[in-house]
Amino acid sequence: MIASALLASILLMPQDRVRQELPNGAVYLVDKADTPGHVRVALSASFHGYPDEPATLGVRHLLEHLVVKGRDRALDRKLESQGLSLSAWTTRDALNVVISGPTGALPLAMASIDEVLNPGGFTQDEINKELRIMAEEKLLHAPDRPLVDAAWEAVYGQEGLSPFGDLEVLAKLTPSDLELARQRIFAPAGLSLVVLGDLDPGVARLRCQEVLGKLSGWEVSFDPRMEIAPGASPMGAQASGEARAVITAGVTVPMTLAMLGFALAQQREMPGTKVFYDASAWDSVIIWTAPNAGQFDALEKLTEEDVVRLAPFVRGQASQWALGLTTLDDTNAALRAKLLRQARTFDLGQLFDTARGLTDQEIVQAWQRWSGPKSYRVRGLK
């Protein structure tokens, strides 16, 4: 019965590509790719399993630090001795773990994902030591990080708080609190797993089913973040400079590429500015920071003719960005895992052509989004 249900849920795809949603809600994709002798496994745990709130802010991040040590706290040694590497990071959208290395070590990579999902309990000493390391991590934030965080808050309020977390809140966390959080963060309905590379799809599929199929737990509700209308006055941030943010309807929409491409192209004329976008198929924000106050005034001074003249650069920048997403590195593997949950049939390869095909009108609209009242403003207070 279960077997036939599983078979029915496997989407009809070429043999080298298998995508399946398991009865517990976890999804996986196995994709044979042209990476001779090399595979990559990416796990994405959606924030929806444990949304960030002021009282729990940073728990996902702390858990990420701890689970990657494995059950015997020697996971790195096991992996690296076989040529595998593990990287992990936490964003507003997801907790990401990626393991990559030689094809022959795929069984170990999959067993390691299992260890990450089921690491055993953590002691208070382990939590406290990791918090000391996180305190050092906090010091490494880039000078424009407060502008980025403020922009997220301007758009989404408390739903946009930084996932780095509040170290004072985390210091009160007990091992049992953390275990409870782990069960929600790794609830199967919020997990997606992608296995890419030079592999036997049949074998990889069985491994995915083994690792994900045995999980059970909490329901996950995929409620979208609720945006707030831009305020009459800019949001303040403890940094110098300023920032603007625009809402995107996802990477699948041409306007997202137009807004990104416009900012990247215009960067050349606005020294020191940076563009931030954590690609997503759902609503999200693109943020543009500037080191000096008043730099964005230049956007309002542009004319439609100026923007049309800039259009080839916008297409060029957008298409370069889109090309970058097709490189098989850890970040893009994690993006694919996230997109597996968000937009199951979307192919990142389409983006390059979409970017090259942006019309002048779309690019003008993108400029208007950045310069007009729909953009969110952040002012540095330093």
Partner 1 sequence: MAEMVRPEIVSGEGVEVRQIALLAGVILTALASAQSSKTFVVTELPNPNAKTVQIHAMIPRPEGGAREEAAWRVLARALNRVSTKTYSNWELFESEGRGTQPLRIEWLPDFIRLEIGTTPANWQEKFEVVISLLSEVKWEVEEPILQARAELMAERKDPWGWAMDPFASAYDQVRPRDVVLMYQAAFQPGKARVFVNGPIEPGSAQGLLDSRVRWSELAAPPRPFFVSEVKRAESNGSGVSTFELTPPAIRLSGPGSAAQFLAAVALGAGKDCTLWRVLREEKAWSYRTEMVFWPTKFGLEPRLLMLRGAREEELPMLFDMAEAIKGDLKNWDASTLARAKVMARSILTRPSPFACVYLHPSRPLGGSEADAAAWQSYWGAVGEPPISISRWLEMLDTVEWEEFQTQAKIMTDNLRPRMTSGR
Residues that bind partner 1 (CB under 8 A): 35, 38, 76-77, 80-83, 85-87, 98, 100-101, 129, 132-137, 139-144, 268-269, 271-272, 291-292, 312-313, 316, 319-320, 323, 327-330, 352
State which residue, 259 or 333, has the beta carbon closest to partner 1: 333
Asked whether the beta carbons of 202 and 77 are under 8 A apart, the reply is: no
Rounded to a whole number of angstroms, the minimum distance from the CB of residue 185 to partner 1 is: 21
State which residue, 18 or 307, has the beta carbon closest to partner 1: 307
Rounded to a whole number of angstroms, the minimum distance from the CB of residue 282 to partner 1 is: 26
The secondary structure element, H or E, covering residue 316 is: helix 304-325
State which residue, 80 or 297, has the beta carbon closest to partner 1: 80
Tell me how far apart the alpha carbons of residues 192 and 337 are, in angstroms, rounded to a whole number. Answer: 6
Tell me how far apart the alpha carbons of residues 281 and 285 are, in angstroms, rounded to a whole number. Answer: 11
Rounded to a whole number of angstroms, the minimum distance from the CB of residue 271 to partner 1 is: 4
CA angle 349, 87, 169 (to 5 degrees): 115
Strands, E assignment, 22-158: 27-32, 38-46, 85-90, 94-102
Q: Dig out the tokens for 192 from the structure.
A: 């997606």
State which residue, 68 or 259, has the beta carbon closest to partner 1: 68
Rounded to a whole number of angstroms, the minimum distance from the CB of residue 210 to partner 1 is: 25
Rounded to a whole number of angstroms, the minimum distance from the CB of residue 283 to partner 1 is: 28
State which residue, 214 or 268, has the beta carbon closest to partner 1: 268
Strand partners, 60: none
Tell me how far apart the alpha carbons of residues 45 and 60 are, in angstroms, rounded to a whole number. Answer: 10
Rounded to a whole number of angstroms, the minimum distance from the CB of residue 330 to partner 1 is: 5
Asked whether the beta carbons of 160 and 57 are under 8 A apart, the reply is: no
State which residue, 50 or 352, has the beta carbon closest to partner 1: 352
Asked whether the beta carbons of 30 and 205 are under 8 A apart, the reply is: yes
DSSP letters, 74-97, are -HHHHHHHTT-EEEEEE-SSEEEE
Tell me how far apart the alpha carbons of residues 86 and 348 are, in angstroms, rounded to a whole number. Answer: 24
Asked whether the beta carbons of 220 and 57 are under 8 A apart, the reply is: no
Rounded to a whole number of angstroms, the minimum distance from the CB of residue 10 to partner 1 is: 30
State which residue, 50 or 321, has the beta carbon closest to partner 1: 321
